[in-house]
Amino acid sequence: MNGKKYAAEAIGTFWLTFAGCGSAVIAAGFPEVGIGLLGVSLAFGLTVVTMAYAIGHISGCHLNPAVTVGLAAGGRFPTSQILPYVVAQVVGGVVAAGMLYLIASGAPGFDLAKGFASNGYGDHSPGKYSLFASFLTEIVMTMMFLFIIMGATHGKAPVGFAPLAIGLGLCLIHLVSIPVTNTSVNPARSTGPALFVGGWALQQLWLFWVAPLIGGALGGLLYRWLSDEPRGQVVGTAPQK
């Protein structure tokens, strides 16, 4: 059964990276009908909503190493499963970036130097935000994302609505932080595009692993402290054993 969980995580993270980053690479700036920042934010949120309903009952639908670590810190996920989940998520993110590259490179004028939805700070931040501002943004945003996940999937939360709360939470996070880092809060999502862009994207990738993992752990610990019943559900599934 564990193999199916890992496959579900890889597929789900593929969808998040492919559709989320694809909305930025292919559709955000399309002449006259581009979806812009609002559309990209909504796209990322929708990837989580759709996958939560599709695979939440199989793997819990983490789709994100920071979520896996945060749920473990919050007492919702076994630490022994962190590594295989993270590996599956990174594989999904890398395959998604490869698929997106094959499609996007079919258009005239495609140029990896434009960023390919990579995350960055300093000169590579959309708004030229500093290293400190970018690091803090990723920590805070990921922390609140885990806080939302832990609360929405608590045993006393309204049943069946967790995917909507989590997806809308991710949408809101992107609305705020795309100008700062192009929004990661997800090391697997960041790794895929960075491998294709190379250079600066790989050099700055460390931040989009370190900050989200710290933020995820903090969010899980904070909700665990706040809640009188830390054990709950993961994206609408049965409680983790």
Integer CA distances (angstroms), 116 to 26, 48, 71, 231, in order: 9, 21, 30, 39
Per-residue pLDDT at 156: 84
Per-residue pLDDT at 232: 52
pLDDT at 238 over 60: no
Could you report the per-residue pLDDT of 27-53, keeping only the tens digit for each? 998 887 889 999 999 999 999 999 999
- Helix 187-197 crosses helix 2-22 at what angle (to 10 degrees)? 60
pLDDT at 95 over 70: yes
- Segment 99-105 long-range contacts (CB within 8 Å, at least 24 positions apart): 99/14, 99/18, 100/17, 100/18, 100/21, 100/22, 100/25, 100/26, 100/193, 101/196, 103/22, 103/26, 104/22, 104/25, 104/26
- Spell out the alpha helix ranges (H) of 116-206: 131-152, 162-181, 187-197, 200-203
- In angstroms, the CA 144 to CA 142 distance is 5
pLDDT at 1 over 90: no
Full set of structural domains in the chain with CATH: 2-226 (1.20.1080.10)
The alpha carbon of residue 182 and the mean position of all alpha carbons in its chain are separated, in whole angstroms, by 12
Lowest mean pLDDT: which of 40-49, 59-68, 80-89, 106-115?
Answer: 106-115
Query: How sure is the predictor about 241, in pLDDT bands with cuts at 50, 70 and 90?
Result: very low
pLDDT at 21 over 80: yes
Mean pLDDT of the chain: 93
Per-residue pLDDT at 231: 52
- In angstroms, the CA 87 to CA 235 distance is 20
- In angstroms, the CA 37 to CA 54 distance is 26
- In angstroms, the CA 50 to CA 44 distance is 10
Residue 11: is it exposed, middle or buried by C-beta count within 10 angstroms (0-12/13-18/19+)?
Answer: buried
Phi, psi angle pair for 232, to nearest 5°: -155, -150
